[in-house]
């Protein structure tokens, strides 16, 4: 039996309000991301190193030389902090500018940095360089998940009748201050299901194709198919709020 599922882009209400709570994880971390992927020869990119809930022990740090990139300048710096349920969260972002000097894909290495929380390491990723004549992906393909999306992950795509499948419901988010107010998980018609108790949803950092996301798992279900055939699993929507800074 095969299982087909479809993801639906989320709906979100954007309001210019302040003081909304958030569920961002307070674990110290370092991530590296890029503002464009794929790219062309001689195009310009910005690579950002983000320190969450920690600071660099040496202040401004120097990025290592990266084969295939020509350094243009930086870093520019951004700093923000918030109070979440009485706990302070912080973010330091260092952004460096480069031009693409290679026709081959470029590997962005793991960045190891001594911070106020100890030695932390980012995840490496690849910047894909398009060949001459290759078409740039259209807007939807290039965005991938976009700024906000819901995703259903399944442990298996083909199973036997009565064989258990794990469904995980996740939110992928690039907004700085999203508060999720409501979400509705699909019914899973044709399955007998058992919800798995999960910890309180927390945002965890994940880099996908060089793009930095906050990811929260909002549900987990073990389901047992009760009939044979192909099932289309509906996606799920969320409603929430994003804090808007009037001075930006």
pLDDT digit string (tens) for 141-154?
Answer: 444 577 788 888 88
Mean pLDDT over the full length of the chain: 79
Residue 95 pLDDT level (bands cut at 50, 70, 90): very high
Residue 110 DSSP one-character state: P
Whether pLDDT at 105 is above 90 = yes
Look at residue 2 in the predicted model and tell me its pLDDT: 38
CATH node for 29-142: 2.60.40
pTM to 2 decimals?
0.58
Rounded to whole angstroms, how far apart are CA atoms 94 and 76?
A: 6
pLDDT in the model for residue 116:
92
Cα 136 to Cα 68: distance, rounded to the nearest angstrom: 19
- Of 32-36, 63-67, 72-76, 205-209, give the lowest mean pLDDT range: 205-209
% of the chain residues with pLDDT over 90: 24
> How far, in Å, CA of 106 to CA of 240, rounded?
37
Q: Which of 177, 186, 120, 189 is nearest to 152 (CA)?
A: 186
H or E element, residue 143: helix 139-143
Query: What's the whole-number mean pLDDT along residues 122-129?
Result: 91
Asked if the model's pLDDT at residue 32 lies above 60, the reply is: yes
How far is Cα 245 from Cα 17, in angstroms, rounded to an integer? Answer: 8
pLDDT (tens digit per residue) in 187-201: 888 888 888 877 777
Domain spans of the chain, in order of start: 3-20+146-242, 29-142
């Amino acid at each position: 039996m095969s299982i087909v599922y479809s993801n639906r882009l989320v709906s979100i209400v954007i309001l210019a309000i302040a003081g909304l709570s958030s569920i961002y994880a307070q674990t110290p971390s370092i991530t590296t991301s890029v503002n464009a992927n794929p790219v062309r020869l001689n195009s310009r990119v910005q690579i950002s190193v983000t320190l969450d809930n920690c600071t660099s022990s040496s202040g401004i740090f120097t990025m290592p030389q990266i084969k295939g990139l020509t350094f243009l300048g930086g870093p520019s710096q951004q700093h923000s902090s918030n109070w979440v349920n009485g706990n302070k969260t912080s973010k330091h972002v260092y952004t460096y500018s480069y031009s693409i000097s290679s026709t081959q894909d470029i590997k962005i290495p793991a960045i190891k940095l001594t911070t106020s929380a100890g030695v932390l390491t980012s995840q490496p990723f690849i910047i894909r360089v398009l060949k001459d004549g290759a078409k740039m992906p259209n807007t939807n393909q290039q965005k991938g998940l976009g700024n906000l999306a819901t995703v259903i992950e399944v442990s298996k795509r083909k199973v036997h009748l009565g064989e258990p499948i794990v469904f995980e419901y996740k939110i992928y988010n690039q907004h700085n201050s999203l508060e999720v107010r409501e979400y509705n998980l699909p019914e899973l018609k044709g399955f007998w299901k058992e919800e798995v108790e999960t910890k309180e949803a927390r945002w965890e950092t994940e880099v996908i194709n060089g793009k930095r996301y906050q990811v929260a798992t909002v549900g987990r279900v073990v389901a047992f198919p009760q009939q044979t055939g192909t099932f289309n699993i509906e996606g799920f929507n969320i409603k929430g709020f994003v804090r808007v800074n009037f001075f930006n």
